[in-house]
Amino acid sequence: MSILNLGKVAVLMGGRSAEREVSLMSGQGVLQALRASGVNAHAFDPAERDLSELKREGFDRCFIALHGRYGEDGTVQGALELLGIPYTGSGVMASSIAMDKTMTKRVWLAEGLPTPNYVLVRREQLGSVSMDGLIQALGLPMIVKPAREGSSIGVTKVEQIQDLPAALAAAAQCDADILCEQCIVGDEVTCPVLGEGDSSHALPVIRIVAPAGNYDYQNKYFTDDTQYLVPSGLPASEEAAIEALVVKAYQVLACRGWGRIDVMIDAATRQPYLLEINTSPGMTGHSLVPMSAKAAGLSYEALCCQLLAAASLDHVQEARG
């Protein structure tokens, strides 16, 4: 599709989630890239303006650079469906499921895909949950995180039982659902997927080497100490197996447009385990999808234009009606 046919484009950025700061960085990068490519693109912050203004102001499509709640969870996607404005990334159902790490794991497990063992703890259960029971089920170390946050917000790696209550409390401040997960010790990798259905394909795997193995919010976005290895340095057969796994994980959730799936490789068995999927990945200077795309010969600008050209709706006929 020609750039000239993309019309007036809103880059949705900012929003109301805990990831607002990162979203603004992503959105500014996308906005500059689209404008540099000749797209009639404009910034639009849903935290400051009503989405109905998109229709009033004649926007033809939206690039969603929002992260987290109210942007990546199907809510904005649903509003754009009602407005009939095509948008980048996954539709309402896939976005909603993918935002909820527990629901994502349930789908993957139902499809026979490997993901670490988990126990879901509700906020109201914090006073009665058995710490010994959690450790019996999952072992130590254990990962404790909110079920519906991104960017490693509220995530704790618990090494000792006495640290478990504080980790649960920290996650509960972010979400009513707390995901306690078996900690897979080994290589941490991530792999983007582009496309839809049978045309979905993986971009190169990135291996992440964080300071002291702690790939947290600070080390994701605000330091240069984390190493991102692409080529990953993994054996070719292992990389191919991970790419096939992430494409399958993306397809069973009915994702489209793009996504990025995080994977841990067990050091002892070399078995890859799916951790989570991001359906509106970061596009900042530290972000991984542009890095992987570049390794595949796809520039940041070309990636943005490709994603925008693929913008669509779940219900095209109804939207046009």
Active site residues: 19, 151, 221, 260, 262, 276, 278, 282
Tell me the DSSP string of 210-269: -GGG---HHHHHS-S-SEEESS--S-HHHHHHHHHHHHHHHHHTT-EEEEEEEEEEETTT
CA distances from 236 to 137, 240, 299 (A): 34, 6, 24
Question: Is there a contact between 77 and 62 (Cβ–Cβ < 8 Å)?
Answer: no
E strand or H helix at 83, and its extent? helix 75-83
Compute how many other C-beta atoms are within 10 angstroms of the C-beta atom of residue 174: 18
Q: Which phi and psi (to 5°) does residue 282 adopt?
A: -65, 150
List Cβ neighbours of 287 (8 Å cut-off, separation of 6 or more). 26, 281
CA distances from 227 to 45, 241, 275, 280 (A): 32, 22, 20, 22
Tokens describing residue 304: 């943005």
Tokens describing residue 275: 């951790």
Give the distance, in angstroms, between the CA of residue 131 and the centroid of all CA atoms in the same chain.
30
